[in-house]
Amino acid sequence: MTAVPNPWTALGNRDDLVLVRAPIAERGRYYHHLRSIVVRAGMLLVEERSTLWHELHHADRGDTRCAADELEARQEAACERAAAHRAIPIRALLDAARWARGHADAADALKVTPDLLEVRLQHLHPSERHHLRRVINERGDQP
């Protein structure tokens, strides 16, 4: 199985950010003015991993809170797509597709939440989709 990227390593390579675990309602939040990522304390490791990828993308972009709900929703969707792409490289996805028996198995192997895997699958590049279909067809069954 191809190794999947580690968001804590990506965070550790950033001298300008700090990670805080706190009892917050949402899964995570990036505070640009504090250069802080706050994640909900007590989440499962896979939930924190997926959330951290999302919040790291906010930090990369320098995002701040949007005043308009529509813009906030667009910003969140863009970060979720980018998080899915960073967390699930195509090689790792193809490796998981070779043996996984469904999305839950694949998400587990990729160390992401099923929701993040679903976002990645929904936004595959056409060439990635082609390779994934080829791998699934070679298996002779449907995952």
Grade residue 141 by pLDDT with cuts at 50, 70 and 90.
low
| 29 has a pLDDT exceeding 80 | yes
Q: Write the DSSP string, 46-103.
A: HHHHHHHHHHHHHHHHT----SSHHHHHHHHHHHHHHHHHHHS-HHHHHHHHTT--SH
Whole-model pTM above 0.85?
yes
Q: What pLDDT score does 30 carry? A: 96
Mean pLDDT, the chain, rounded, equals 94
Percent of the chain exceeding pLDDT 70 equals: 98
Q: What pLDDT score does 143 carry? A: 43
Q: Are 38 and 28 in contact (CB under 8 A)?
A: yes
Q: At what angle do helices 69-87 and 114-122 cross, to 10 degrees?
A: 100
Q: Are 69 and 79 in contact (CB under 8 A)?
A: no
